[in-house]
Amino acid sequence: MRSPLTAVPPLHLQAQQAEDGFGPDLRQALAAPPHAISPKYFYDAEGSRLFDCICALPEYYPTRTERAILQRHAAEIAAHVGAGCDLVEFGAGSCRKVRLLLPELQPRRYLPIDISVQHLQQAAAELVRQHPGLVVVPLAGDYLGPVRLPPALPGAARVGFFPGSTIGNLTPQEALQFLRGAARLLRGGGLLLGVDLVKDPAVLHAAYNDAQGVTADFNLNLLARANRELGTNFDLDGFWHSAFYNAPLQRIEMHLVSRRRQQVTLGGETFDLPQGLALHTENSCKYTVAGLQALAEEAGFRPGAVWTDEQALFSVHWLQAPAMDGRRGE
């Protein structure tokens, strides 16, 4: 029997799981242009495992670069954020990066939010074992939807943590909408945000087309997941992984391209996919520091300190969320 200090934290479910929309969203993507589906559907247990593998690849600079920034500047970050906060992580995944900050931040409570329920439970339980004095309240759900948090702790600023440049998966309008919601949710505190920067397209191409093909497997897992969960009949060998940098839009685009004419069945419907049809699975927008700060200011944040690496590959931003009527977040 586990002691209370090492017990697996209870998992709190948001009102609606993102998985509920997988079938309808995939049907819409197959039925008509623009043939696009949200990247949130990458993250079942297998997709989360593959993404962890991507983060360790030599070509994939964002993870190790952001980790180095957080590790090098943890004390300085804590001086801006303030110790003893109520820490909320959006898209927590394996909860690995937050561990670099915990000794300095010493939050009173940690609330990781993630769409992959099994992955979140495992990560939260491991974190509790490693930090037995930390109060961990995992929240399973889609942080892009309505987020309902437990009541704020009295006297503790609510601080968000959104690493990995996950904000780059959103369109500029979606990013603005997310930041506006975060500014309201975190008022009186702030947001610590990891953002990938505009750089040499060759570096970006290598990061999303790794030599081992792990990113391709990650992309194709979306179709494998549909076969497992929705009963579709995707032939994974019938699709190419395609990732490229769209310079005018400053974003990496990932697609799954049909190698040949083929038919796919979903929920009793049959969809004809011509050769060359591209299912758009992900964007990864890149920002300049000034561009991100302008977006954050438009959303209601007050841009603060920025930390980058020596090559200016990646950035971590502290964005203050002004209190309304002098109150902290609710």
Which tens digit of pLDDT belongs to each residue from 112-127?
A: 998 888 888 888 889 9
184 and 243 both lie in a single domain: no
pLDDT averaged over the chain?
91
Residue 111 backbone dihedrals phi, psi, to 5 degrees = -120, 90
Same domain, 115 and 222: no
Query: Which stretch of 23-27, 153-157, 288-292 has the lowest confidence by average pLDDT?
Result: 153-157
Q: Do you know the residue count of the chain? A: 330
For the residues 304-319, what does the mean pLDDT come to?
98
Cα 330 from chain centre? 23
pLDDT at 20: 67
Q: What is the DSSP letter of 276?
A: T
Query: Are 89 and 162 members of one domain?
Result: yes
Residue 19: predicted pLDDT = 47
CATH of the domain at 118: 3.40.50.150
Domain around 227: 21-53+201-285
Same domain, 119 and 220: no
Q: Which residue has the tokens 């004809």?
A: 272
Same-domain pairing of 279 and 307? no
Q: What is the pLDDT of residues 175-200, one digit of tens each?
A: 999 999 999 999 999 999 999 999 99
pTM here is: 0.89
What residue has token string 């002098």? 326
81: which residues sit within 8 A by CB, 6+ positions away?
A: 105, 159, 190, 192, 318
With tokens 């439970």, the residue in question is 121
**Per-residue pLDDT at 57 exceeds 60:** yes
Q: Give yes or no: residues 33 and 181 share one domain.
A: no
* Cα–Cα separations (whole angstroms), residue 1 to 6, 51, 136, 290: 10, 33, 20, 53
**In this structure, is residue 296 part of a structural domain?**
yes
237 and 131 in a common domain = no
User: For the chain, what is the domain count?
Assistant: 2
pLDDT of 213-251, one tens digit each? 999 999 999 999 999 999 999 999 999 999 999 999 999
Q: Is the pLDDT of residue 18 over 70?
A: no
